[in-house]
Amino acid sequence: MKVIVNVSLKAGVLDSQGKAVHHALDSLHFEGVSDVRVGKQIILNLETTDEVKARKDVTQMCEDLLANTVIEDYEIELVK
Amino acid sequence: MKVSILQFPGTNCEYDTQHAFEDLGASTEIIWHKSETIPADTDLLVVAGGFSYGDYLRSGAIAKFSPVMRAVKEYASKGGKVLGICNGFQVLTEAGLLPGALKRNEHLHFISKHHHLKVINNDNIFLEKLNENDVVNIPIAHHDGNYYIDQNGLKELYANNQVLLKYSDAEGNDKNPNGSVDSIAGICNKEKNVFGLMPHPERAMEAILGSDDGVKMLQGFLK
């Protein structure tokens, strides 16, 4: 099973990269962008086909390693 | 006085650190990260600077799972003294031995220059040879040195005198190079045996190289 993990800085934690990209978009005259957040995507291939197990395992991976929960949030997406 | 210095793949300040402490009269040993123990006669354990595991995923995120880190946690929990410099500070926050986290510098640049620091609390072994409000000139060299901690965590740091150093100008006025919360450059744990800072005192040991203010800092650990 393919699992996609998206990690980004928590709301309220200043995202300097997002801010810089936002400025760059402004200077390229892309209008109407109200906010930009830059995160990272981690794509995992798991042997299991059990969705409950996959979510449980990946949650633990995020808590232990993939995200630093002091400053980051994570979202887990199971892809069949 | 025995100083053990951790070396991960990508560490690059272990020999500077060794040179600095040996100059001060300590004996030293470099400990490869695969070691499951640290020398029993260790008086100070230094997590040296560099780019452990190429800073992959996050600075310090992978180093915290190295075999030696279990021994480091045990050593610290028994009151052993631990000093994390630069990447070592990042490793200690990732490992949960120090509160908070280090983010990408506010203006996204890698910063490498001398910077003044103001001593905030000296009621600890690390800074006891300095006075509060003293200003020292110490090199910084980092990309991810933007210290973050939430408001409650920050209050706790102040309440327990855990804020050690702040970035400043030569007069001690606040000057923030990287966006750190309250310009914080270095902290310790509540028990005051685990210390972390982004600047490099081991690179400020001789006036001819720009500053010898690091001597007074590292000397604090010597018996």
- The domains of chain A are located at 2-79
Q: Which residues of B touch A9 (CB under 8 A)?
A: 103
Domain containing B106 equals 2-219
Separation of alpha carbons B77 and B59, rounded Å:
23
Separation of alpha carbons B90 and B100, rounded Å:
10
pLDDT tens digit at each of 223 positions of chain B: 999 999 999 999 999 999 999 999 999 999 999 999 999 999 999 999 999 999 999 999 999 999 999 999 999 999 999 999 999 999 999 999 999 999 999 999 999 999 999 999 999 999 999 999 999 999 999 999 999 999 999 999 999 999 999 999 999 999 999 999 999 999 999 999 999 999 999 999 999 999 999 999 999 999 6
3-class state of residue B76 by DSSP: helix
- CB–CB of A68 and B58 under 8 A? yes
Separation of alpha carbons B59 and B86, rounded Å:
10
CATH of the domain at B99: 3.40.50.880
Tokens of B147: 């210290």
Q: Report whether B5 contacts B44 (CB < 8 A).
A: no
Of the partner residues A14, A17, A68, the one whose CB lies closest to the CB of residue B94:
A68
pTM: 0.94
The superfamily CATH assigns to domain A2-79 is Phosphoribosylformylglycinamidine synthase subunit PurS (3.30.1280.10)
Residue-by-residue DSSP string for B93-122: HHTTSSSSEEEPPTT---EEEEEEEEE---
Q: What is the greatest pairwise CA distance in chain A?
A: 47
Q: Report whether B75 contacts B68 (CB < 8 A).
A: no
Tokens of B12: 């690059």
A11 to chain B, any CB pair closer than 8 A? The answer is no
Residue-by-residue DSSP string for B15-67: HHHHHHHHHTT-EEEEEETT-SS--TT-SEEEE--B-GGGG-SSTTTTGGGSH
Q: Which residues of A touch B154 (CB under 8 A)?
A: none
Question: How many domains does chain B fold into?
Answer: 1
